[in-house]
Amino acid sequence: MRVGVDVGGTFTDLVALTPDGAIEVRKVATTPEDPTVGMFRALDALAGAPHAPAIELLVHGTTIATNALLERRGARVVLVTTRGFEDLLWLRRQDRAALYDLARHHPPPLVARGDVVGVTERIGPSGVLEPLTEGEVARVVAGVRTLAPEAVAIALLFAFRDPTHERRLAGALRDALPRVPVATGHEVLPLFREFERTSTTTVEAYLRPKVSTYLERLDGGVRKRGIGALRVMTSSGGTRAPAAAAAHAASLALSGPAGGVVGARLVGAAVGQSDLLTLDMGGTSADASLVVGGAPLADGGSTVGGVPLALPAVLIETVSAGGGSIARVDEGGALRVGPESAGAVPGPACYGRGGERPTVTDACVALGWLDADSPLADEVRLDPAAAERALRQLGPAAGSDSARMAAGIVAVAGAVMARALKRVSVARGLDPRRMALLPFGGAGGLFGCQLAEALGMGTIVIPPHPGALSALGLAAADERADLLASFHRPLDGLEPRALALAFGPLLAEGARQIPGGALPRFADCRFAGQGYEVTIPVDSDDPARIRDAFLAAHRRRYGHAGGGLALEIVNLRVVALREGPLPRFAGETRTGRRPVGPRAFVVRGERVTGSVWSLDELAAGVTIQGPAILAGRDATALVEPGWCGTVHASGAVLLVRT
């Protein structure tokens, strides 16, 4: 049995794929003080089921790296860089944090300015310009030791081309400080662009001690329970063994959200939808992403907590619009939602755990979307009276009509999520009207119709087990390793043999890391002089075929093909891949063909009476006319008036506008 566990801001979700491909779901409350406690409680709940098979593999999606960056709770880092470039992290790209806001600044780097050590050395694109002497190595080691770091980052100029100097410094520092992790730029990100490489290397050093400690403790607990193996989800949508994940801590920065996109891809394949706009709405935040042509859209550069990362990652846009996002009225009398969240403790007021401030979940309860008689994880029951009291705390703006204020809260939260969906689609030249919207997470299905109408979309896919889709994606995730190398060459005149030789070391390393896995090749290409690249698959060493593939990809993305400009290859990539199992969406075992009853609730400020259906029991072929509520054990979905749903054989519900 393969198991995926997703630790969210409010709940921890577990999905098990049994040997025949069937799906088992468990949900418990997250334990923020130690996420492993909630995880092991979910595992124990699964193990207590009758006839539960042994767990062969546990795949974990963790927010340990994400939270460390957001909360600035990583290691104290000393940065070692080429003399004269000590201010690189502060200079960044010399762009503004907000174009028209002169008072807004970028978040400060993860390194204090006094913890940067300059090295007298210099390597240029064609070789050594200033040698690194033994005396200089000794001086740098002494200077770093004096600063007493918890981790060291080394990022020298052109180390991606010639890592000799970085290796010498790293060896000397590891000998002198054997208990201090040392991250080097040529190992973390062997690509050009010194700012992105330096920033990413610093993130790696900043996260490695905390991530290593967490994974070591987690791996020990997993082994004590007799689980076969542990793997950890990375930002690119694949998994790594704990030791490899600890040595590549920066690759876990988007570990949690990536699992949801993998799960969305699997559901899309099951219902025949290859182009999806996805939204994972959990307790703390909402994550927007894309699946294009049946594969998650990847991004070579991301930002977490204002810190640039240039590692391969699934494209994700995160906004503070989760079920626990707190609503407030600002000084100007405007209603705001987030970024502050009630989290798992105390949680929304309606959870009865001590929360008193109004949240999005409280608004959904006040509108009648959620059933107060249905328990959530750990037998948490919803308290409508507590939700009403919290909403009235918004003051005179709430008046005596809490339903009106609740409608305003969900409208504001929906607008925040709609902007995130537009940033990952419209802003990238992709038309959301040609896609299907797949909302998931505990609250995603409640906002599906509102968001689809905001983007002009006509199809919504409500997946099976929507509240645990991220954990499902983890359980079925591929094993994956991303190998990178710089290769800055004009395409004109490039010999196929030279390209094949350059790919050789990457292919060999990929085969070593994942024996027997697939090894697809990719290249980052651009028009000469461009400041950005387009990544394309490389299925041939023929430069003409590479040119055709790049021009077609550039035309799809940007609407033009350069008008005959010269092309160049910038970077090479190899993805070592072993695919995970396909889950069996057992929609044929469901027999529910009638609603369980009517319910009065509020939609867009209007009180309506709609049917309530058991989402987990819907039989294939059943038609559902809005207004309706689809109530499941792990999530609830809302079918607004003007929408009609049909239950697919997989158990997913396909909604279309009528």
Apex CA 290: angle with CA 288 and CA 291, to 5°? 145
Q: Which residues contact 586 (CB under 8 A, 6 or more apart)?
A: 22, 23, 651
Return the sign of the alpha-carbon dihedral for residues 82, 88, 94, 95.
positive
- The DSSP letter of residue 108 is P
Taken in order 454, 452, 604, 321, is the CA torsion positive or negative?
negative
Structure tokens at 612: 């309530």
Dihedral sign of CA atoms 552, 553, 556, 561 in order: negative
Mean pLDDT in each 10-residue stretch from start to end of the chain (658 residues)?
Answer: 85 85 82 82 78 85 86 94 96 86 89 97 94 97 97 97 96 97 96 94 97 93 90 93 94 89 94 95 87 86 83 87 87 83 82 88 92 71 88 69 86 94 90 95 93 96 93 92 94 94 96 95 94 92 95 88 91 94 75 90 91 92 94 92 94 94
- Asked whether 153 and 204 are in contact (CB, 8 A), the reply is yes
Owner of token pair 């109408």 = 453
The pLDDT value given to residue 378: 60
Alpha-carbon span 515 to 481, nearest angstrom: 11
Contact predicate 641/605, CB 8 Å: no
Q: For residue 71, give Cα distances in angstroms to 94, 107, 148, 247.
A: 25, 12, 22, 21
Q: Please, what sign has the CA dihedral across residues 614, 616, 620, 624?
A: positive
Please give the angle made by the CA atoms of 25, 377 and 601, to the nearest 5 degrees: 105
Burial 474-490 (b: 16+ CB within 10 A, else e): bbbbbbbbbbbbbbebe
Distances (CA, A) of 261 to 70, 319, 351: 21, 16, 28
Residue owning tokens 């037998």: 379
Please give the pLDDT value at position 514: 94
Q: What is the pLDDT of residue 337?
A: 87
Torsion of CA 432, 433, 436, 439, to 10 degrees: 60
Q: Which domains does the chain have, with CATH numbers?
A: 76-180 (no CATH), 478-578 (3.30.1490)
Beta-sheet pairing, 230-233 with 238-240: antiparallel
pLDDT of residue 404: 84
Asked if 106 and 92 touch (Cβ cutoff 8 Å), the reply is yes
Phi-psi region of 199 (alpha: psi -120 to 50; beta: other; left: phi over 0): alpha
Asked whether the beta carbons of 299 and 274 are under 8 A apart, the reply is: no
C-alpha–C-alpha distance, residues 38 and 7, integer Å: 8
**Residue 143's closest CA among 198, 206, 78, 88?**
78
CA distance 325 to 312: 29
Beta carbons within 8 Å of 548's beta carbon, 6+ residues apart: none
Categorise residue 127: left if φ over 0, alpha if ψ from -120 to 50, beta otherwise: left
Tally Cβ neighbours within 10 Å of residue 281: 31
Query: What size, in residues, is the chain?
Result: 658
Residue 382: HSE in the Cβ half-sphere, 13 Å Cα cutoff: 20
Tokens of 135: 């005396």
Nearest to 144 by CA among 136, 395, 423: 136
What does the block give as tokens for 637?
């979905």
